[in-house]
Amino acid sequence: MRSQVYEWDASRTNVSGTEMTTTQFGSAISIFVGGFGNNITKPAETTATQFCVIEDIAVTPSAFTQNAAVLQVANLTYRGLPTANAIGTSTGIAGPRAYVQIRINTTDYFLDPDNVGNDGVAGSASPYPRSVNFQPCFNLYPDVYVLPGQTWDVRVTAYQSDNYAAGDLAAGNLQCFVKYTLYDGPDALIANKLLEMGISVNPGNVDWYKRTLIQSQGM
């Protein structure tokens, strides 16, 4: 088993050299294979001998502030977040109004009360990066389990485009973060067994199950 992290930045150039523009705002974009920012070559998936536990997700936060037209200030920032690139263009929101969603196969994880999929967790609830200005108030609990043979994805949706220059996203203006633990081989079998037993899958419980097996064999 190994813990892994993935950071996505919309400003980074992907393999095809395509840059994300404001025209993509309002659309859910895969941080793995969405075609914008840094990408990998194929969707995230588990093999028949793997078990994945998604433990944390976060995205660039947003905050309310004054309208640039009122302040008559261009390139205004609030707590390090850009609000406008020209006087009168800001809607009073600092940051990209971004949300992060987990998708397993074709099913979104976060749903509205009527079971309709939504954009996911707001960056204000689970910010990245975390700082004295933006602290998390959301905890991904219980963890999200990706069973053997499933494809999974993390998708970002952003709406605020007034604070970005046309055709360009500055570094750090839209980022996403995901932390997960991948269990492979015998550890994946143990993870499936813990799931059947109704026990949380984490490194500590996997080690506990191993010790239990060794002790039982010894007896």
Joined together, the tokens standing for residue 10 give 């919309």
Joined together, the tokens standing for residue 114 give 């009527």
Candidates 206, 208, 212, 174; CA nearest to 191 is: 206
For residue 23, give the DSSP letter: G
Three-class DSSP category at 49: coil
For residue 84, give the DSSP letter: -
Break the chain into its structural domains and give their ranges: 2-183, 185-219
Strands (E), 47-87: 50-59, 63-64, 77-78, 81-82
pLDDT by position in tens, the chain (length 219): 899 999 999 888 654 455 666 678 888 999 999 988 889 999 999 999 999 999 999 999 988 876 655 555 556 677 878 776 555 555 677 888 899 999 999 999 998 888 887 999 999 999 999 988 899 999 898 899 999 999 999 999 998 666 665 455 677 788 999 999 999 999 999 999 999 999 999 999 999 999 998 888 765
